[in-house]
Structure 1
Amino acid sequence: MSVFDERVLGAPLRRKYDVAVIGGGITGVQVARHAAGRGLRTLLVEREDYGSGTSAATTKAIHGGLRYLEQYDFGVVAESVSERHYLGLAAPHLVQPRSFLLTAYDWSSPPAPVLGAGVALYEAMALGRNIGMPKDVRSPRFRWIGKKKLLNQVPWLDPEGLVGAWRHDDTLNIHPERLLLAILNTFVADGGTAVNHAEVTGLLGRPGERIRGIQVRDGITGMTEKIEATVTVNAAGPWVAEVLGDLAEDAGVRVKQAKGVHLFTRDLGNRDAVYVRGRNGRHIVVNPWEGRTLVGPTDTPAESTETTVADINLLRETLDSVSVRPLVRADVQDTIVGVRPLIDDGNDTYTSSRRFDIRDHGPNGLPGLFTVSGGKWTTGRKMGEKVMDTVIEASAQHLPPTRVFDSRHLDLSTSFGDYDTVAAAFSAAAARVPEAGLPRDTRVHLARLYGTAHEKVLALVAGDRTLTARLGGSADIAAQAVYAVTEESARTLADVLDRRLTVGTLGLVDAPVVEQVATLIAPLLGWSEERRQAEVDAYLAAQRGRVEVLDEAFRG
């Protein structure tokens, strides 16, 4: 019996795998999905929780990367717009169109006509974006929005020098935490095994011999276990060098860490996302989401993994330079921070390419070991495909024969399938498990988050009516907290609040709700009262820390 058995997702834990993937962000999950899809016995291990790093700390966008045209990174843009389309087909309940307004001032560089040419090229690259999409999530053509109409739509924009905006459509990643779990579930449905709170503390092997697996420490109990694997893929994002430890220098891995901080504000009034360059030359997105607005990211070197006063002030400076009034403390509710791995190409973090790199460490004396660096959410599927193509080609004599796997047009395992509209899929879902007795808005909320697996949450409610209780002012209900622990391997309070439910993604969570959820999950996890209180205290302390940084920034 393994020390990890109690929270394994998918097939039971084996002693040996064809492929072991390190890292449970979007890169690792997509690599694992494509390994299992090729018929290989695959294990995914994550040090903390799935998506707990960069993958959950986003602008909520699946985008083609219009800004990268300015850097002449046409390959990344072309690949991104194709991948955006595939992801929209696979999970239209979690991915939907979002209009972006690319603003232009008379001082903007490049000027409005050049921006328009860039948008036209961008749209041309995405010519087939609506093919196969449900009717209610199709994107219109780009168009010019004049100054007067733009100010009606975006009341906070500074009118002085404003020319107008180019409107084009990208895609909203409504709940990235849930989308990542949907992809993870697809990996599991293909026979994969996943374990969270499992830190890789060493590689089995040393320079000059084949790497034959990983040593893993259970983050909950502290126990360790060795798991053999024919191939090990290091997909730990910003922490790939840390995973390699003393082998990093021999492996020749160089990764820059770029920090992306967002401000989480009240609703600023714009219904479309606004993509704007401030007078300091930096771009930000002001993206409305769930009745709130995300402002960011900073995209600066990651000297720390926490939000700092300097990060907050950089975003304020950028936004205030194009706003009719400056942000004040009452506008800002919270901050979000993620650290992105970038290929060390000699450029700064702001202009570095978003390409990804696959490194076979065999020539460095570490056969059987591969490292993935760079990349982004949008191109995660393609990255996983290319990584496994490279791994299989390089390791053909060691791996069993593999099958063909083309994920471009495959639904995720919990997607609703081919409905004429997403609304029709939700209407059908709202009629399931009538004995649950929930209102339609709650049913649609669950259907969006869980796809077809929402029926399992409804079954919990049908069996225990106390689980219909709402969690604060969110649309979440108590049954979701139970499901997070019993079916989705959540093991900490933050796992449940921040990455299984939506309540923790909507800003600061009220203390009574934190207590409510902790009380729900404590008996399921065997927590003592002391452990339950420690989880509550730690969660609330982390929130207070973010509030203190915001207070300090706005006092200066």
Structure 2
Amino acid sequence: MKRDIEKIASRAYDVVIIGGGIYGAWALWDATLRGLSALLIDKSDFGGATSSNSLKIIHGGLRYLQHLDIKRMRESIHERKVLMSIAPQFVHPLPCVMPTYGHGIKGKEVMGMAMLMNDIIGFDRNKGCDPQKKLPAGKAISKDELLKILPGLDETNLTGGAIWYDCQVYNSERLLISVIKSAVKKGASAANYAQVTEFITTKDKVVGVKIRDELTGKQFEIRSKIVLNTSGPWINNMLGQLNGHQPAEKFQLSKAMNLVVNKRITQTHAAGIPSKFEFKDSDAVINKGSRLLFFTPWRDYTLIGTTHVPFPGDPNDFAITEDDVTTFLDEFNQAYPAMAVKREEVVYYYGGLLPMDDTGERASEHDVKLTKHYKLLDHQAENGLDGLVSVLGVKYTTARDVATKAVNILMKKLNRQGKTETENTVISGGEIPDFESYLQDENKKRPWGLNADIIEHLILNFGKDYPEVLEFLSENEQWKEKVVSDSDVLFAEIVHGIRDEMAVRLVDVVKRRTELGSGGYPGDTAAKNCADLMANELGWDEEKKQTELEFLQRSYLTAK
């Protein structure tokens, strides 16, 4: 997967996709498998914006029970199973727990019934799956069992808990990159750091885009039969470029944030506990009066989420502030004082912008009402402009399915035949029908004398493609060394990211091509070691290298 904007701009496409987040990535893969010539472009790096804001959970929609939204539950359960099947290197089962209180709607009896309903609605969740991906039935547990998982939890009216199973993504950034690589291997084109500056139109039809290479400043025109806009929170900005064809209503956005804590609050289970702050969901059939704070063990960290506040500004000005972090941290600590987190233990945060339905009737900033359903806009029907379709997504879990529906629209408008194949086609590196057996077999091989921990690390990040990383050791065996002693990331992964995955900035490698800095700043030594290798590969001088180091460091800081 090479970055060559002059080459990709030299031809026309069936579809140009704007926005390299998870929705754009799945759309590229789907369109390519259906035989469309497709190009994906992003103004920054792939997955560098809203798609990076995640609790890493692929959920089966248990929360939708309170809305009696069985359709959304089935969609989420189906997508969870699909992702375990087509991306087995990344998606793995995760036990979850929730405390029960009293004998009302928060009680063990009601939650026990909810677990039963969840299992009935997800009756086919284990059909034909890898044994490692099997999701056990949910169950109610005693108060003593609950306190072993969540020690020190307030015992007032505590009656026990409920356990169910969802999934966790080991590395959501690499999952996204792997989807794009899958499409490129099948003939698609892609380029990061390519800013759309203007739609090309003739009369009432979009026929392409003008782009600027953000690395060189060069500008290009790219023609296409249709354009798919998956720009996420930049949707208003993009549609604002449609002179005379802008939608009448702008989409409202909320700021979402998850915290990364440098310790395990729970060892095995993700957990949802009630916030002390009141929350009203006007769409819920069963309204519990408070929102859940969810925290999950991930690698050596705990992820805590998710907070939402209205965001009325321009997405280009989005930032997580110190006040955002401390306010949310205070909310969590009030909910679980026995496991209170200190500010210095919060080593990073994930932030992004999500669509919300703003009625102006919020009792407090905690009453943000997120948009519950995705939107697909055919602009010919919406405002008389042919050749443009926009997607507004709301969930990471169901992004593949929404992308499929978007490509269905493209196929119809292009008078092309063909159904989606992404549901049954593994992504690059995912040809692993039995994950545990594959892991054991590869550990026995010990390629290049690497130990079992390194082999497992490589498989969790690259799946069956991990030998592609090790191929670089034939050029320089020293690249099998760790970048820094307290991480399993190898120098070979840095080279692989640069040469084969379009990593052009230090932050691309540290945060998105490897797991080195996806949980927090990896330290000056690791950053410098990466920068030295990138400087050698890309021809950076000392000034450029220092600029990249400073930019990386700033990316981990909150705004004032």
Same fold (TM over 0.5): yes
What is the CA–CA distance in structure 2 between the aligned matches of 1:270 and 1:440, rounded to whole Å?
22
Which of residues 333, 336, 345 is equivalent to 2:350?
A: 336
Q: Distance in 1 between matches of 2:325 and 2:38?
A: 41
Distance 2:85 2:457 in 1: 20
* Alignment equivalent of 1:510, drawn from 523, 527, 551: 523
By how many angstroms is 1:58 displaced?
0.4
In structure 2, distance between residues paired with 1:57 and 1:425? 30
RMSD: 2.4
Contact 1:210 1:368 in 2 (8 A): yes
The range that moved more, 331-340 or 235-244, is: 331-340
Moved more, 274-283 or 86-95: 274-283
User: Kindly tell me: are residues 344 and 143 of structure 1, through their superposed partners in 2, closer, same or farther at Cα, counting changes over 3 Å?
Assistant: same
Q: Out of 48, 54, 60, which is 2:50 matched to?
A: 54
Report the CA distance shift for 1:345/1:447 in structure 2 as closer, same or farther (over 3 A): farther
Which stretch shows the higher mean deviation, 92-101 or 422-431?
Answer: 422-431
Cα distance in 2, alignment partners of residues 128 and 64 from structure 1: 12
Match of 1:414 in 2: 429
Give unpaired runs (5+ residues) of structure 2: 278-289
What amino acid is aligned across from residue 336 of structure 1 in structure 2?
Y
Q: Does 1:320 align with 2:333?
A: yes
C-alpha contact 1:342 1:373 (8 A) present in aligned 2: no
**Which of 178, 188, 196 is the aligned partner of 2:174?**
178
- What displacement does 1:464 show? 1.1
Q: Which runs of 5+ in 1 are unaligned?
A: 550-556
Contact kept in structure 2, 1:355 and 1:375, CA below 8 Å: yes
In structure 2, how many angstroms separate the alpha carbons of the residues matched to 1:14 and 1:427? 46
Report how far residue 347 of structure 1 moved: 8.4
Could you tell me how far 1:405 is from its partner in structure 2? 3.2
Report the Cα offset of residue 285 of structure 1.
Answer: 0.9
Distance 1:199 1:114, change over 3 A: same
The residue aligned with 1:204 is: 200
Structure 1 pair 457–336 and aligned structure 2 pair: CA distance change class (3 A): same
Indicate conservation of the 8 Å contact 1:343/1:357, yes or no: no
- Which residue matches 2:395? 376
Contact 1:159 1:324 survives alignment (8 Å): no
CA contact (8 A) 2:88 2:432 kept: no
Task: Verify the 8 A CA contact 1:255 1:373 in the aligned structure 2.
Answer: no
Change (3 A) 1:345 1:361: farther
User: How much does 1:446 deviate?
Assistant: 1.0
- SS where residue 284 of structure 1 aligns? strand
Residues 390 and 86 of structure 1, relative CA distance in 2, 3 Å threshold? same
Structure 1 stretch displaced more, 481-490 or 449-458: 449-458
State the one-letter code of the partner of 2:375: D
Measure the CA separation in 2 of the matches of 1:276 and 1:180.
Answer: 30
Superposed counterparts of 1:89-488, under 5 Å: 89-106=85-102, 110-205=106-201, 208-247=203-242, 250-252=246-248, 254-265=250-261, 266-280=263-277, 281-303=290-312, 305-325=318-338, 326-342=340-356, 350-363=368-381, 364-396=383-415, 401-419=416-434, 422-430=435-443, 434=447, 436-472=448-484, 473-488=486-501
- % same residue: 27
- Measure how far apart 1:6 and its partner are: 6.0
How far apart, in 2, do the equivalents of 1:414 and 1:334 lie? 29
Q: Distance in 1 between matches of 2:14 and 2:164?
A: 44
What secondary structure, in the 3-state scheme, does the structure 1 residue paired with 2:20 have? coil
Tell me how far apart the structure 2 counterparts of residues 187 and 105 of structure 1 sit (CA, whole Å).
48
C-alpha displacement of 1:311: 2.5
Partner Cα distance (2:374, 2:428) in 1? 26
1:190 deviates by 2.4
| The 10-residue stretch of structure 1 (85-94 or 116-125) with the greater mean CA deviation from structure 2 | 116-125
Distance across 2 between alignment mates of 1:66 and 1:279: 22
Deviation at 1:406, TM superposition (A): 2.7
- 1:517-556 to 2 correspondences below 5 Å: 517-543=530-556, 545-546=557-558
Higher deviation after alignment, 221-230 or 302-311: 302-311
Quote the Cα distance in structure 1 between the aligned partners of 2:300 and 2:128: 30
